[in-house]
Amino acid sequence: MTSDSQQLADFRSQVTKVLQERDSEWEASRRLVEARRLPETLNRLIDEARRSDLPLLVRDSITAALKQGEAVRIQDLPGPRLKELTGLPPTKAIRALCVWFDVIESPPSRWPIPSLSVPEITAFVRDHQNPFDILLSSDIVSVLDLGSGDLSFPLELANHYASHLQGKGLKLTIHALDRLRPQSKLGGPLHPEWERLQTLLTRPDLSFQFIGDQDMCALDRLDQAGKLAPCYTLVTCWAPATPTFAYEPTRLSADVIQGELQRTRGAFRQTRYAGELALEVMHGDRALLFPPWKFEIRGPLLLLDLLARRGKLCVLGAVDNQVFWELLSQVLDDPRYRPEDQPFTSENLPSIFGQIFDRLSGLPIGDVVDLADLAPLRSAIPRGLPTVAPYQTPYCFRSIQVRRGAVFPDMPASSTARKFHEMAEEAPPWMITLVPESPSGMPPAPSDNKPQIN
């Protein structure tokens, strides 16, 4: 069998396996191939195929089989091509692709809310070294991983917990988002390997979804399509992007941020590479290329808001020093920690944060401190995302724990975290574990017949 035919056979086998596990989605797909909805369905499938991390041959075969969105009837589609992809005749083939790409418009009850209370989670975090073990105590075991990159953390998480949870009659759900466009030539090792992605997609003890080319701060489309849960047991983000979350725009003016970027990063400009937009940054004599949004500044208020909206428990891992102190300034109550238009530097951090800086800087690797033991936490954090209903009021965190280090015994971690020991010039990073106070705008849990996430 040739390499091309093997790739198509592998995809066909994976589609068959997914259909065997998703009876309810298969039934729900019937309405998507109704005559009045078919053109929209085909266009959605093409969009998902182009955004996917499937091999180029498979992506191109799918878009060709769907007639590039030009078909208006099932009869317009090439049956043999669809059968080669799915092993099914045209109508069922389209339904199978709908299930594979998860474009089924499921009702909100598809995603039940974990029942763990804020006091229960706060007590758990206080009494357990490993925050990820919350999955072993929850009735719903779901994780949203923001900025998943090469998918190393979702794989480690699944290896740690999926089979054990399956033994308890629970299936671990992991939804992974990343802003890198799967087909992009930029981003290098941060793209997931095909084998790793397929391992996650085909594990029988795991429900996994990876969505690339997705800005974590613009999730409306995914919510409307029913692809994301309104609330997860855990929300994680490893190595929050620098400089994206390293400067808070409500504290620092655009001119100050721009000056800091030029001072610390050097000259940069928008350019094109391999037919796509890119950011060129001069590093000494070398020109480095990044995705065009690399220097978009969002700030920690936006990240904190996203975490609090989506997670019962939130974990930030491998947080570098710059992001750490900017984020800390936004969760501490005293406004002295948020000086206007004064970028944080190694010279001024001791005077701005005082005893907090001394205590945290001296924290041994692996040790944990409750931030509220050092200073009062902010009781009304302003929203960083649009204040649409039901998120129209400030929010806060019941508990924030700070741990020094990148990786810890018996805890899953990302590949970036595991590389920190090789970065001699980098200060040891931080892990931050946050328990959001029950927000007044938390979407209500479905009232009746909550299905298990699967």
Q: Would you state the pLDDT for residue 68?
A: 78
Shared-domain flag, residues 227 and 362: yes
Residue 291 reports pLDDT greater than 60: yes
CB atoms inside a 10 Å sphere around CB 63: 17
Region 2-20: what's the mean pLDDT? 84
Hey, what's the torsion of the CAs at 435, 439, 444, 450, to 10 degrees? Answer: 0
Residue 439 reports pLDDT greater than 70: no
Region 222-237: what's the mean pLDDT? 90
Shared-domain flag, residues 96 and 115: no
Q: Which residue has the higher pLDDT, 1 or 171?
A: 171
Shared-domain flag, residues 145 and 277: no
CA nearest neighbour of 302 among 394, 383, 390: 383
Q: Tokens 């106070």 belong to which residue? A: 437
Distance from CA of residue 218 to its chain's centroid? 12
**Residue range 76-120, pLDDT digits in tens:** 899 899 999 999 999 999 999 998 888 876 554 578 889 999 999
* 152 belongs to a structural domain: yes
Shared-domain flag, residues 204 and 258: no
Asked if 25 contacts 106 with a C-beta cutoff of 8 angstroms, the reply is: yes
Average pLDDT score, the chain = 89
Between 133-142, 366-375, 421-430, the lowest mean confidence (pLDDT) is in 421-430
Shared-domain flag, residues 278 and 312: no
Most confident range, picked from 106-120, 364-378, 408-422:
364-378
* 130 belongs to a structural domain: yes
Region 229-250: what's the mean pLDDT? 96
Q: Would you state the pLDDT for residue 53?
A: 77
Q: Which residue has the higher pLDDT, 1 or 445?
A: 1
Shared-domain flag, residues 311 and 223: yes
Q: Among 100, 132, 151, where does a domain finish?
A: 100
Residue 66 reports pLDDT greater than 50: yes
Distance CA 301, CA 347 (A): 24
What region does 200 belong to: left with phi over 0, alpha with psi -120 to 50, or beta?
Answer: alpha
* 63 belongs to a structural domain: yes
Q: Would you state the pLDDT for residue 423?
A: 77
**Residue range 174-203, pLDDT digits in tens:** 999 999 988 888 888 888 888 999 999 999
Residue 336, token pair as written in the block: 């002295």
Region 423-446: what's the mean pLDDT? 72
Q: Would you state the pLDDT for residue 269?
A: 87
Hey, what's the torsion of the CAs at 206, 19, 103, 111, to 10 degrees? Answer: -40
* 453 belongs to a structural domain: no
Residue 450 reports pLDDT greater than 60: no
pLDDT bucket at 317, cuts 50 / 70 / 90: very high
* 446 belongs to a structural domain: no
Task: Please report, as a single letter, which amino acid is at residue 319.
Answer: V
Shared-domain flag, residues 144 and 278: no
Distance CA 436, CA 415 (A): 27
Shared-domain flag, residues 212 and 329: yes
Q: Would you state the pLDDT for residue 8?
A: 87
pLDDT bucket at 440, cuts 50 / 70 / 90: very low
Three-state secondary structure readout of the chain:
CCHHHHHHHHHHHHHHHHHHHCHHHHHHHHHHHCCCCHHHHHHHHHHHHHHCCCCHHHHHHHHHHCHHHCCCCHHHCCHHHHHHHHCCCHHHHHHHHHHHCCCCCCCHHHCCCCCCCHHHHHHHHHHCCCHHHHHHHCCCCEEEEECCCCCHHHHHHHHHHHHHHHHCCCCEEEEEECCCCCCCCCCHHHCCCHHHHHHHHHCCCEEEEEECCCCCCCCHHHHHCCCCCCCEEEEEEECCCCCCCCCCCCCCCHHHHHHHHHHHHCCEEEEEECCEEEEEEEECCEEEEECCCCCCCCCHHHHHHHHHHHEEEEEEEEECHHHHHHHHHHHECCHHHCCCCCCCCCCCHHHHHCHHHHHHHCCCCCCEEEHHHCCCECCCECCCCCCCCCCCCCECEEEEEEEECCCCCCCCCCHHHHHHHHCCCCCCCEEEEEEECCCCCCCCCCCCCCCCCC
Distance CA 81, CA 68 (A): 13
Q: Would you state the pLDDT for residue 133?
A: 98
397 DSSP β-pair partners: 436
Residue 131 dihedral angles phi and psi, to the nearest 5°: -65, -25
Asked if 359 contacts 369 with a C-beta cutoff of 8 angstroms, the reply is: yes
What Å distances lie between residue 290 and 279, 384, 416, CA to CA? Answer: 5, 25, 17
* 448 belongs to a structural domain: no
What b-and-e string marks burial along 333-364, b requiring 16 or more CB atoms within 10 Å of the CB? Answer: eeeebbeeeebbeeeebeebbeebbebbeebe
Q: Would you state the pLDDT for residue 1?
A: 55
* 450 belongs to a structural domain: no
Residue 326, token pair as written in the block: 């900017």
Shared-domain flag, residues 286 and 384: no
Distance from CA of residue 269 to its chain's centroid? 27
Q: Would you state the pLDDT for residue 278?
A: 87
Distance CA 180, CA 448 (A): 38
Q: Would you state the pLDDT for residue 389?
A: 61
Residue 62, token pair as written in the block: 């799918």
Q: What CATH number is associated with residue 220?
A: 3.40.50
Q: Would you state the pLDDT for residue 251?
A: 97
Shared-domain flag, residues 156 and 136: yes
Distance CA 134, CA 360 (A): 25
pLDDT bucket at 50, cuts 50 / 70 / 90: confident
Between 57-61, 384-388, 439-443, the lowest mean confidence (pLDDT) is in 439-443
Q: Which residue has the higher pLDDT, 331 or 20?
A: 331
pLDDT bucket at 452, cuts 50 / 70 / 90: very low
What Å distances lie between residue 18 and 56, 106, 116, 161, 205, CA to CA? Answer: 21, 17, 30, 21, 13
Question: Structural domain of residue 283, as residue ranges?
Answer: 254-290
Residue 302 reports pLDDT greater than 80: yes
Shared-domain flag, residues 357 and 412: yes
Shared-domain flag, residues 33 and 117: no
User: Per the structure, how many domains does the chain have?
Assistant: 3
Most confident range, picked from 2-6, 109-113, 241-245:
241-245
